[in-house]
């Protein structure tokens, strides 16, 4: 099977600083891939390149046989990729359900003229959108929280809402930026269950950035390790875990690789 | 050639005024990320304070004639004090309570202060222009076709004096360092033991003192004070601050002179009625194409 | 650190709850909700001698505030509509002029609210669109206009034409400035507004310069000539209702959600596939169209317009009324216009005579002083405005209903 996503020799420089240096990786359909690395390794920069926030200085990103690194920011979602953010970026003053409705934006057709006239088709569309949103919220474990403002949700709930919102885009690739960051072990376990369900029940392909080794080792099938903007290792979790360069990179930061939480 | 020199000198004179006012905008923006819409009104109040001082001397003594140096100096000081007192009060009442409010609230509050001050003066003066007593000796230095009046020279020298003074304050004093620290990162500055509230007040104080002094001197230059006189110089000084990269002190100075000279040239080559258009067009162009300022350095966005 | 964060969040939630309870209590007292405004309305309606400016006005503000605050059901709207139609009949020319201004500014406020309140784009040059509507209309229909462009166009055709042109101007001005954020956008738009005014002033050849365009023909409604503020008031009123209807419907749709998402977090909105450039331009265009429409009506009422009618104060007034009323909802705009445009006029004949203080005409003389101070006071006391937008009830109910459906 051809890879769903392929990152080809991507380099990204900021004035005087190379955040990503000649990084390549491929993601197969219906797998959970992980990107790990110590702080400042370039994980988030890689995510920002994948989601169009940064243009690569050189190199290419291909998705489903289509080059996506030149797409405008909003074109990424239309191409079939959606994401969550490391520092939760919900629409804080909108309700949970409205957040998910915004996620469905590209699948709805109402424009300003039909919004004013409001023909039956608009009413129907809106009703089915709300129904989809309610289902997605249920899937993400947010039953009966629909009308809560996003900023009033508990931390773990906010992370789940971000995932529900990302799913509303109906992506074929989901990028999760540190989905368990700041969670207590109970919440993190719930999140891992949710991520597995995404792949098993919704047949989603997932790439996640993680700091917590326990999460990555437990859930990912393939792992890419970055350090100082370069790919230093790649493979199945147990392979990566044994890699000398990985151990060195993490030892250098004082983290112990087998015991996850930093 | 002489014509060019004349235009250049005229431009530098008014540019110095813009530069001095612009410092207030840029410093307040630096520490609060807020456009102090009422800053132009501080300039206007400075002009009135200068007028009332000189007028009082005129009515009650002969000092304007016998000791003009003293009366001019006291008019400038009066302008500074008035503007400073107002600035402190306005910061306390209208801005500080809104430091954590929605983004637009402080802007509207500032607009309120501006309307308030303008209309207070409109009432006080009965909407009439107040004419300054003549304290400055007439006459000019002639040099071929170039003619520079004494008051222009005074304006020129004084603006440079204030700019140097401010430069020393920002770079050499502890308070100046606090201001730079708060502008850089308010939270870190607070952690380092900088008294943020006091620093913000001090920023307003310094900016207001400059605006007040500029108002008094500008009033002597144009020989009138009106309630509406703060608006155009205010917006132009803001343009100057933007030209230099808002938040940057040397940028505001350079921007002021640049705008003054540009205006002076455009008066000659495009037409006097387009003077204000030129300033606004410049403002718009810079904000669109180089929002970090003509002289500023681009800050690269990093995650 | 984390604990403090939690504590703040808990506090916010407690405050939200308290606020909701207070509102519920307020809504539950029928005396305040209906009986009081109704009684005041009846008294007001039955005693024409009351129709001296101030009490009428105080009454109107009070009634409107209560109606807007508590609900917008059919009954409330009917009372409001009846009041809006009946009141001007009892008014003199001066008062009708004020009413016209309030309605006109309400319309402008609804337009600007789309830009500032819905899409979160701070526009300080809204007057540009108002001016362009007025000038496009005036230059085309006034025989005396500098260019003598009289093509005898009908007023009713000119409204949509001017709106379309204003919308195009909105897109043209919006395009280069959209990537600017916040304060910078405010200043650039302010610059645009001033440039337009100065050009109207300086391009004598087209606009007749500071002498203005005059002898603008009257509009006709069938055979009836729409002469003064009274007839045109109803036209603006219609404009207000259409604009309000359109604005609210757009807000409660996919388009409105996209705007709100952009306002909340532009990057996250893009990541959800929202074309932020398109939606920002759309907000500019719709806002500009409404402003342009208002300009046409204004020119028709004035019959002579001058560049100085379109200075920065117009932009600032419109923005201030939107923010004071409470951004993001039409009810706030209505209230804001009544307070901001009406109050200074009504203050004109307000005076204080108390012991040795005799401030005759304090209202006329100090109204703008009071206005400036009021702006500050309202911002400091209620930075979110007097009528902050409430969450949409309809969507909640729909969601709850669906959920119970799914649960069974």
Per-residue model confidence as pLDDT tens digits over B71-107: 999 999 999 999 999 999 999 999 988 888 777 788 8
What residues of A are in contact with residue C249 (Cβ under 8 Å)? 115-116, 118
Which distant-in-sequence residues (6+ apart) come within 8 Å of B288 by Cβ? C176, C177, C180, C188
Is C58 in the same domain as C123? no
- Residues of chain C where predicted confidence (pLDDT) is lower than 70: 1-80, 143-153, 181-182, 222-223, 346-365, 388-408
CB contact under 8 A, B120 and C369: yes
Is C206 in the same domain as C219? yes
Is C60 in the same domain as C111? no
Please state the domain count of chain C: 2
Q: Among candidates A197, A192, A229, which has minimal Cα distance to A213?
A: A192
Higher-confidence position of B121 and C36 = B121
Is C60 in the same domain as C107? no
On whether the CB atoms of residues B13 and B152 are closer than 8 A, the answer is yes
What is the signed CA dihedral for C336, C337, C340, C343, rounded to 10 degrees? Answer: -110
Q: Which H/E stretch holds residue B147?
A: strand B146-149
Any chains having at least 3 CB pairs less than 8 A from chain C are A, B
The C-alpha atoms of residue A12 and residue A59 are separated, in whole angstroms, by: 9
At residue A85, the pLDDT reads 92
pLDDT per position as a tens digit, B194-253: 888 899 999 999 999 999 999 999 999 988 999 889 988 888 898 898 888 888 888 889
**Nearest CB neighbour to C254, from listed A52, A89, A105:** A105
Is C151 in the same domain as C287? yes
**Nearest CB neighbour to C403, from listed A90, A101, A146:** A146
Sorting pLDDT into bands at 50, 70 and 90, what band is A112? very high
Name the 3-class secondary structure at A204.
coil
Any chains having at least 3 CB pairs less than 8 A from chain B are A, C
CB contact under 8 A, B303 and A15: no
Q: Which H/E stretch holds residue A23?
A: strand A17-27
Count Cα atoms within 13 angstroms, Cβ side, for B167: 12
pLDDT per position as a tens digit, A93-107: 899 999 999 999 999
CA-based torsion, C95, C100, C103, C108: positive or negative: negative
What residues of C are in contact with residue A50 (Cβ under 8 Å)? none
Q: How far is A155 from chain B (nearest CA, A)?
A: 22
pLDDT per position as a tens digit, A8-67: 999 999 877 888 999 999 999 999 999 988 888 888 899 999 999 999 999 999 999 999
At residue C86, the pLDDT reads 73
At residue C81, the pLDDT reads 72
At residue C67, the pLDDT reads 58
pLDDT per position as a tens digit, B145-203: 788 888 888 888 999 999 999 999 988 999 999 998 988 888 888 888 888 889 999 99
- Give the chain A residue nearest C253 (alpha carbons): A115
Tell me whether the CATH fold assigned to A1-80+172-184+204-262 matches the one assigned to A88-170: yes
At residue B293, the pLDDT reads 74
CB contact under 8 A, C376 and B116: yes
| Torsion angles phi and psi, residue A181, rounded to 5 | -55, 135
Which distant-in-sequence residues (6+ apart) come within 8 Å of C307 by Cβ? C131, C197, C198, C200, C201, C207, C209, C210, C212
Higher-confidence position of C285 and A216 = C285
At residue C296, the pLDDT reads 92
On whether the CB atoms of residues C216 and C300 are closer than 8 A, the answer is yes
At residue C152, the pLDDT reads 53
- Give the chain B residue nearest A12 (alpha carbons): B302
What residues of A are in contact with residue B297 (Cβ under 8 Å)? none
Q: How far is B139 from chain C (nearest CA, A)?
A: 34
Is C102 in the same domain as C52? no
Least confident of A140-154, A246-260, B130-144, B254-268: A246-260
Which distant-in-sequence residues (6+ apart) come within 8 Å of B144 by Cβ? B2
Question: What ipTM does this complex have?
Answer: 0.90
Which distant-in-sequence residues (6+ apart) come within 8 Å of C35 by Cβ? none
Where is the domain boundary, C72, C91, C110?
Answer: C91
Is C45 in the same domain as C182? no
Domain boundaries, chain A: 1-80+172-184+204-262, 88-170
Domain with C194 in it: 92-407
Q: Which residue bears the tokens 């804080």? A: A92
Any chains having at least 3 CB pairs less than 8 A from chain A are B, C
Is C242 in the same domain as C335? yes
Mutate to test the interface with B, among C121, C191, C381, C386 (most CBs of B within 10 A): C191
CB contact under 8 A, B300 and A15: yes
Check whether A5 has a pLDDT greater than 90.
yes
Is C14 in the same domain as C125? no
Q: Across residues B260-265, what is the average pLDDT?
A: 92
CB contact under 8 A, C375 and B109: yes
On whether the CB atoms of residues A83 and A73 are closer than 8 A, the answer is no
Q: What percent of chain B has pLDDT over 90?
A: 37
Q: What is the CATH number of domain A1-80+172-184+204-262?
A: 3.40.50.300
Q: Which residue bears the tokens 């009106």? A: B226
Higher-confidence position of C80 and A110 = A110
A45 touches chain B (CB under 8 A): yes
CB contact under 8 A, B115 and C324: no
Q: How far is A79 from chain C (nearest CA, A)?
A: 9
CB contact under 8 A, C380 and B106: no
Is C79 in the same domain as C207? no
CB contact under 8 A, B108 and C199: no
Is C132 in the same domain as C273? yes
The C-alpha atoms of residue C229 and residue C93 are separated, in whole angstroms, by: 8
Which distant-in-sequence residues (6+ apart) come within 8 Å of C33 by Cβ? C26, C27, C66, C70, C71
Is C286 in the same domain as C190? yes
At residue A257, the pLDDT reads 47
The C-alpha atoms of residue C307 and residue C353 are separated, in whole angstroms, by: 40
Average pLDDT over chain B, rounded to whole?
A: 87
Domain with residue C340: its CATH number is 1.10.3470
Most confident of A129-138, B187-196, B249-258: A129-138
Q: Among candidates C348, C380, C379, C378, which has minimal Cα distance to C365?
A: C348
Most confident of A190-204, B131-145, C368-382: A190-204
Q: Which of residues 95-154 of A touch B (CB under 8 A)?
A: none
At residue C169, the pLDDT reads 93
Most confident of B13-17, B278-282, C181-185, C340-344: B13-17
pLDDT per position as a tens digit, C244-303: 889 989 998 999 999 999 999 999 999 999 999 999 999 999 999 999 999 999 998 888
Q: Across residues A222-241, what is the average pLDDT?
A: 89
Quote the distance between the C-alpha of residue B168 and its chain's center: 18
CB contact under 8 A, B303 and A45: yes
At residue C93, the pLDDT reads 77
CATH fourth-level superfamily of A88-170: P-loop containing nucleotide triphosphate hydrolases (3.40.50.300)
Average pLDDT over chain A, rounded to whole?
A: 89
């Amino acid at each position: 099977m051809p890879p769903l996503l392929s990152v080809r020799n991507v380099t990204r420089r900021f004035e005087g600083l190379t955040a990503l240096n000649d990084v390549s990786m491929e993601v197969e359909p219906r797998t959970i891939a992980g990107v790990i690395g110590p702080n400042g390794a370039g994980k988030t920069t890689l995510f920002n390149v994948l989601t169009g926030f940064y243009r690569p200085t050189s190199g290419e990103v291909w998705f489903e046989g289509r080059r996506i690194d030149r797409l405008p920011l909003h074109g990424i979602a239309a191409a079939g990729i959606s994401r969550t953010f490391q520092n939760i970026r919900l629409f804080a003053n909108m309700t949970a359900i409205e957040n998910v409705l915004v996620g469905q934006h590209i699948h709805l057709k109402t424009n300003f003229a039909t919004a004013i006239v409001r023909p039956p088709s608009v009413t129907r569309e809106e009703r089915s959108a709300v129904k989809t949103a309610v289902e997605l919220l249920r899937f993400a474990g947010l039953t009966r929280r629909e009308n809560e403002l996003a900023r009033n949700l508990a931390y773990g709930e906010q992370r789940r809402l971000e995932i529900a919102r990302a799913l509303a885009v109906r992506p074929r690739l989901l990028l999760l930026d540190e989905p368990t960051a700041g969670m207590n072990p109970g919440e993190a376990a719930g999140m891992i269950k949710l991520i597995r369900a995404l792949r098993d029940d919704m047949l989603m392909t997932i790439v996640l950035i993680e700091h917590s080794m326990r999460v990555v080792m437990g859930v990912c099938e393939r792992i890419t390790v970055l350090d100082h903007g370069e790919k230093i290792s790649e493979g199945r979790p147990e392979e990566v875990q044994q890699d000398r360069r990985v151990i060195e990179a993490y030892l250098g930061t004082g983290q112990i690789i087998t015991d996850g939480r930093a | 050639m002489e014509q060019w020199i004349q235009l250049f000198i005229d431009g530098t004179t008014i540019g110095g005024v813009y530069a001095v006012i612009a410092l207030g905008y840029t410093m307040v923006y630096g520490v609060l990320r807020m456009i102090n819409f009422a800053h132009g009104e501080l300039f206007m109040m400075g002009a009135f304070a200068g007028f009332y001082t000189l007028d009082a001397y005129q009515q009650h003594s002969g000092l304007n004639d016998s000791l003009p140096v003293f009366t001019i100096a006291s008019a400038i000081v009066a302008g500074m004090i008035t503007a400073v007192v107002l600035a402190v009060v306005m910061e306390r009442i209208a801005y500080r309570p809104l430091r954590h409010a929605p983004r637009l609230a402080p802007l509207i509050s500032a607009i309120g202060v501006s309307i308030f001050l303008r209309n207070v003066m409109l009432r006080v003066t009965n909407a009439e222009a107040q004419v300054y007593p003549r304290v400055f000796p007439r006459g000019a230095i002639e040099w071929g076709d170039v003619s520079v009046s004494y008051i222009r020279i005074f304006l020129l020298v004084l603006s440079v004096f204030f700019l140097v003074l401010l430069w020393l304050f920002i770079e050499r004093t502890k308070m100046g360092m606090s201001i730079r620290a708060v502008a850089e990162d308010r939270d870190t500055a607070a952690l380092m033991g900088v008294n943020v509230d006091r620093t913000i007040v001090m920023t307003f104080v310094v900016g207001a003192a400059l605006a007040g002094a500029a108002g008094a001197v500008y009033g002597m230059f144009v020989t009138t004070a009106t309630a509406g006189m703060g608006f155009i110089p205010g917006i132009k000084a803001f343009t100057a601050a933007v030209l230099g990269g808002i938040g940057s002190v040397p940028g505001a100075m350079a921007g002021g002179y640049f705008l003054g000279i540009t205006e002076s040239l455009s008066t000659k080559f495009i037409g006097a009625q387009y003077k204000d258009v030129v300033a606004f067009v410049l403002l718009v162009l810079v904000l669109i194409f180089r929002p970090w300022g003509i002289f500023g350095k681009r800050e690269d966005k990093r995650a | 650190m984390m604990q403090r964060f939690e504590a703040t969040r808990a506090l916010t939630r407690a405050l939200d709850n308290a606020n909701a309870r207070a509102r519920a209590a307020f809504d539950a007292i029928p005396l305040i909700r209906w009986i009081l405004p109704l009684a005041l309305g009846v008294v007001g309606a039955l005693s024409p001698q009351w129709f001296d400016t101030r009490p009428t006005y105080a009454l109107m503000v009070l009634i409107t505030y209560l109606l807007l605050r508590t609900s917008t059901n059919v009954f409330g709207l009917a009372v409001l509509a009846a009041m809006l139609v009946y009141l001007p009949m009892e008014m003199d020319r001066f008062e009708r002029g004020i009413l016209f201004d309030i309605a006109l500014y309400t319309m402008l406020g609804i337009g600007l609210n789309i830009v500032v309140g819905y899409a979160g784009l701070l526009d300080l040059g809204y007057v540009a669109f108002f001016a362009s509507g007025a000038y496009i209309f005036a230059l085309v229909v006034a025989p005396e206009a500098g260019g003598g462009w009289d093509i005898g166009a009908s007023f009713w055709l000119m409204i949509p034409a001017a709106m379309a042109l204003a919308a195009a101007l909105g897109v043209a001005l919006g395009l280069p400035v959209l990537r600017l954020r916040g304060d910078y956008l405010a200043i650039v738009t302010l610059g645009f507004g001033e440039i337009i005014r100065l050009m109207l002033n300086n391009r004598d050849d087209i606009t007749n310069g500071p002498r203005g365009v005059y002898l603008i023909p009257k509009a006709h409604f069938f055979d009836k000539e729409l002469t003064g503020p009274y007839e045109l008031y109803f036209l603006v009123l219609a404009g207000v209702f259409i604009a309000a209807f359109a604005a609210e419907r757009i807000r409660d749709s996919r388009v409105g959600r996209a705007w709100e998402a952009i306002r909340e977090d532009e990057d996250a909105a893009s990541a959800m596939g929202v074309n932020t450039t398109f939606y920002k331009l759309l907000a500019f265009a719709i806002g500009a169209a409404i402003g342009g429409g208002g300009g046409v009506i204004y020119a028709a009422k004035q019959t002579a317009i001058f560049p100085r009618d379109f200075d920065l104060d117009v932009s600032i007034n419109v923005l201030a009324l939107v923010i004071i009323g409470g951004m993001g909802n039409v009810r706030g705009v209505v209230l804001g216009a009544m307070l901001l445009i009406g109050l200074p006029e009504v203050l004109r004949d307000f005076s204080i005579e108390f012991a040795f203080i005799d401030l005759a005409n304090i209202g006329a003389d100090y109204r703008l002083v009071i206005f400036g101070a009021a702006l500050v006071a309202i911002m400091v006391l209620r930075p979110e405005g007097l009528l902050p937008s409430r969450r949409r009830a309809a969507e909640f109910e729909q969601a709850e209903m669906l959920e119970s459906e799914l649960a069974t």
